[in-house]
Chain A
């Protein structure tokens, strides 16, 4: 059996070829990109439509864009934006609640210092603040960094001789109100309304509707306030007045969004007008943020959030099956290949009082404009479309609809994942199918190969190849071709065999001519000196005749075996007799016989056994060296009789060991004796052993330099007749 040569087997090659399937993920990736483009376009259209719808709804509602405060034309940077709070704020001075609701505090630092005592070098305080709206209340939070807290003098009625927060409010009915919140100690506080004129600080009276909580912290204090919404108009301002010296109680600095003293300096309170919010809400989509901008770019209202409550990764209904489960298991793996879809962590431009993009300007000049801007440190883009709002042929404002590409990216992500799973699945499936197919193919080819290898047996006889011979594919063709080739080979072998017979037949005629001519010559009475030549010619003829006889020996033997009748005979007698004969025939060569004392009964043809032994003996004599006797041993067990012929001499040549019993295998040196050798001797041994269901093997002797030939003949063969 030949070992399969190292290298790629058909199976490995098929698997390699199936790697072509890895093109699927690549195609998927390209496809996903294409899909993303389409989705983006769709999104742009949708955003544009939304913007148009909202703008249309806002058309001819100039009141929405016109507020009394707007006339003042103040600096928009002072604007205070009130956020819609999802839940009410508990007044407890803890600000983490605000952060939880997504509101961040804005810092007012050095650049927001309004007043400062001359001797103060550095603004000692920092004010953080935030404003939110829930239901009918406006909430405000302050975190003040102030190292020296000064509370109100318990003996004084004055509220402004301690650290205090000033509030300026422009009421909806257009009146300016000022309030001061200071504390005698940490805990609940209420505001005090003070007159708006400069002198009036003393004439303060409490405003119990404005309540708050003063909480000391390690670096200052926190203050939470709650105002009724009805009190707050379009403008609002905060400031913190810092008093550090409990003795002098002098105000060292004021930090704030505005100087709450004058109506001009108040910031815009961005409490969205309910009407606009209603319209926007009814028309906007989730994940969309809508800005309504007045002609002066001031923010009128803002609604919605860019942060969508991200869709649950495993959508219900879709795939609770094994595929989804497998996909879920694979998802962490995909993370290595493709980055996860980004999510928007922080709402961008949450505190912007002005719309940050350029689209607004375009819209305010009467054109619809779209744009994209990238959010910092994120692949997410914000898609914005600005649409002008018209009143009487005049642009009174603009609607900006924003949406992030987060959804699109998520869809793309899902798509790539799904396609990846499908590709992986199909690769597995196709790979498995190819593997199974290749395995079957390989096994068929192997079977064919094995049969082809064994098609010519050791005796040179041919056997038909049957593997796949009935198949209609190429392997079947191959098998049939093999059979055809073998058949032709068989014919050729037959021709060769008959050639020997025919050759001997054809050669006999010329030999007869020569011989009969010689005979005739002798009858003529030749001169004496011619006799030697006649003798030589006759010797040559005899040799030629022997060659011819040998040539057909195997064929005749086979014919003889076909005609022979098996009989019960004594193998020991045959062997003993033969050895006696060899002692005479091959004298002075010595033969040593080892045989059991009792007869060895065997079923077979004694003549053939004798012929076989003749060949073995002739072989042993030819190869025997020196004066060592040739050993012929007959050993018997219940099952078989073993005939061994051993001689001292050269070992078996390795190159012929396998073919020793084949036809035409000869290892004799050509300088050999008078007898012609055609390499048929051991082949005849093989034929005869085979005829007796036995087996002949030749091997190097273990005990000495030389060769032994063993013929095992089973004893219990029932005679087939």
Chain B
């Protein structure tokens, strides 16, 4: 049975483009143009994954409300925010609401589908027993690409898909400077340098929450970042 994806997006062209592309990959896609419509459908049946635009028609924060409602209905449902806004504040508030990733609309479709696939992988891994693992271990760090999980000192670190890919990209070759462009490729996104910087900042913060002494991600000014095996 194919997975169902709900797209809540007020622009019909984008909605249909995304829906078409995802359908081609075998997903069952339903599009909704506004919050009320989407909420009514979600009351009846939850999708397997939701892609939500934050600004919906005349409700500028309509996406956040849907996210909150969905998270209340299911703790595990993967939610991706898709928005034209790129400000950090939106990012932070979006993530605090429990979204699994946060993407600007200019992301390419292959990048989007990679994320969707990764999220479903994570969902599957949580339900199925541990299979052949594709695991990267660097000291206290453990990145499980199949389950899309990261743990530090055996405690899970709640990273988004993008962040996980960045950490993975860095930690794969410790001591090597990863240029921002390389990190973007690893993270399957095309954004500007400052976005990478703020991603790194957020990743550091999440690790520091678990371990105040965390300093494995080193900034090499003018070039990029480096994983310091400590």
Contact = CB atoms under 8 A, between A and B. Distances in A.
Contacts of B194: 553, 556-557, 560, 611
B89 interface: yes
A335 B92 CA distance: 93
A49 interface: no
Most buried by B among A516, A520, A559: A516
A354 interface: no
Contacts of B108: 515, 519
Interface residues of A, number: 45
A285 to B, nearest CB: 107
B221 A573 contact: yes
Interface string A563-581: 1000000000111111111
Contact of A574 (B13, B24, B192, B221): B221
A397 B112 CA distance: 143
A535 interface: no
Contact of A559 (B87, B104, B192, B223): B87
B17 A513 contact: yes
B102 to A, nearest CB: 14
B129 interface: no
Interface string A641-677: 0000000000000000000000000000000000000
Interface stretch (A34-42, A254-262, A504-512): A504-512
B97 interface: no
Contacts of B11: 509, 512-513
Contacts of B122: none
Given A511-B106, A515-B108, A523-B24, A577 B222 contact: yes
A227 to B, nearest CB: 134
B182 interface: no
A575 B221 CA distance: 7
Contacts of B87: 501, 556, 559
A542 B197 CA distance: 20
Contacts of A513: 11, 13-14, 17
A426 interface: no
A508 B106 contact: yes
A584 B222 CA distance: 10
B109 A606 contact: no
B105 A511 contact: yes
Contacts of A549: 86, 192
Contacts of B198: 560
Contacts of A610: 221-222
Contacts of B14: 509, 512-513, 516
B59 interface: no
Given A559-B87, A559-B88, A578-B222, A508 B105 contact: yes
Contact of A520 (B17, B85, B224): B17
B221 A578 contact: yes
Contact of A505 (B85, B88, B110, B222): B85
Contacts of A582: 222
B84 A508 contact: yes
Contacts of B109: 515-516, 519-520, 523
A545 interface: yes
Given A508-B84, A515-B106, A519-B108, A581 B221 contact: yes
Contacts of B110: 519
A575 B109 CA distance: 38
A517 interface: yes
Nearest to B198: A560
A516 B16 CA distance: 9
Contacts of A512: 11, 14, 84, 105-106
A557 B104 CA distance: 18
Contacts of A504: 84, 86
Contact of A580 (B84, B89, B197, B223): B223
Contacts of A501: 87
Contacts of B105: 508-509, 511-512
A590 to B, nearest CB: 15
Interface of B: 11, 13-14, 17-18, 20-21, 24, 84-89, 104-106, 108-110, 190, 192, 194, 197-198, 219-224
8 shortest interchain CB distances as A-B pairs: A581-B222, A578-B222, A516-B17, A519-B109, A577-B221, A508-B84, A512-B105, A581-B223
22 contacts: A501-B87, A508-B105, A511-B105, A513-B17, A516-B17, A516-B18, A516-B21, A520-B17, A520-B21, A556-B86, A556-B87, A559-B88, A560-B194, A560-B198, A574-B221, A578-B223, A579-B222, A580-B220, A581-B220, A581-B223, A610-B221, A611-B194
Given A523-B24, A577-B222, A613-B222, 11 more contacts: A501-B87, A512-B11, A516-B109, A517-B17, A519-B17, A519-B21, A520-B20, A556-B88, A580-B222, A581-B220, A610-B221
